[in-house]
Chains A and B, each alone.
Chain A
Amino acid sequence: MAAVSQSFKTELLGAIPSLRAFAVSLTQNADRADDLVQETLVKAWDKHESFQPGTNLKAWLFTILRNEFYSQMRKRGREVQDSDGIMTARLAVHPAQHGQLDLKDFRGALEQLPEDQREAIILIGASGFSYEEAAEICGCAVGTIKSRVSRARARLQEILKISGEDEFGPDAISAQVTGSNAA
């Protein structure tokens, strides 16, 4: 077994904040998230030889973390939430005014999404992965990721009572003015 290179170790260290963020997004629980990250690091270390240098280490690590998450869920005998089986409107969220949406409300809404939709919207909308990378991480087709993201978005809009914001949002206009896309 070849020794783990220093650069691999450095990159692992550097990936920890992202891994923790993804883990919290999946588990919705800080302690479980850190256990998941720890498990991911150990696994990544053990199988570092299967990582191909030059490919996306972050995507590789996210894949390990995600697999670990679902395998833990199975071990716990918990069914993966399906899209229809979640409690609807558990939170009473007030209609959001533009730009006034509270982060706490948003977190609550995110929590209500089924896991598959939540991970898709996080990977695409927050972690900065392409659809192709997200599909690779989740082991599914690109089209599946796209539809999960769409459903997640529609669901969040529904829970948070936002609608048609793209056409009318103030930032759509400022983006046109500056001609750039800050994301």
Chain B
Amino acid sequence: MKEMSKKQMADAVSRHRNGDGNPLGANSEIARKLKQYYDELVSDRVPDRFAQLLSQLEQAEPAQKKD
């Protein structure tokens, strides 16, 4: 990917923060529904299997030491 100049980067960040140049339109019905849809998914309770998985990975760790 092409390198952006610092200025371009800063402009992009500020555009993003301000919601300008956002084809979604920060206040549009679609933007709000999209948020609602996604926030509902994010707030879904996380099943225990994931914490268990990370614990298993952690326990397996020392045995995995190679090189």
A34 touches B26 (CB 8 A): no
- Assuming the A-B contacts A1-B65, A41-B54, A110-B37, are A162 and B44 also in contact, with contact meaning beta carbons closer than 8 angstroms in the complex? no
Near A by CB (< 8 A), chain B positions 3-58 give 4, 9, 12-13, 16, 18-19, 22-44, 46-47, 49-51, 53-54, 57-58
The secondary structure that dominates the A interface is helix
Taking a contact as CB atoms under 8 Å apart, the answer to whether A42 and B26 are in contact is: no
A131 B16 Cβ-Cβ under 8 A: yes
Chain A's closest residue to B47 (CB) is A34
Kindly identify which residue among A16, A17, A135, A149 contacts B43, using a CB–CB cutoff of 8 Å: A17
- Candidates A24, A42, A125, A162; contact of B53 at CB < 8 Å: A42
Secondary structure call for the B interface = helix
Q: Which residues of A have CB within 8 Å of B53?
A: 38, 41-42
Q: Give the segment of A65-73, A74-82, A85-93, A169-177 that binds chain B.
A: A169-177
Cβ-based interface call for A127 (8 A)? yes
Inter-chain contact A146/B23, CB cutoff 8 Å: yes
> Roughly how many angstroms separate A75 CA and B47 CA in the complex, as a whole number?
27
B interface residues, how many (CB within 8 angstroms): 46
Q: Is B54 a contact partner of A12 (Cβ separation < 8 A)?
A: yes
Is B26 a contact partner of A41 (Cβ separation < 8 A)? no
Say yes or no: A169-B12 contact (C-beta < 8 A), given A122-B38, A132-B4. no
Q: Which residues of B contact A125 (CB under 8 A)?
A: 24, 30-31, 34-35
Are A169 and B51 also in contact (CB < 8 A) when A24-B41, A106-B33 are?
A: no
Closest to A41 in B: B53
Chain B residues with Cβ under 8 A from A183's Cβ? 19, 26-27, 31, 35
A183 to chain B, nearest CB (A): 4
Given contacts A103-B40, A124-B24, 5 further A-B contacts (CB under 8 A): A121-B24, A153-B25, A162-B30, A166-B27, A181-B18
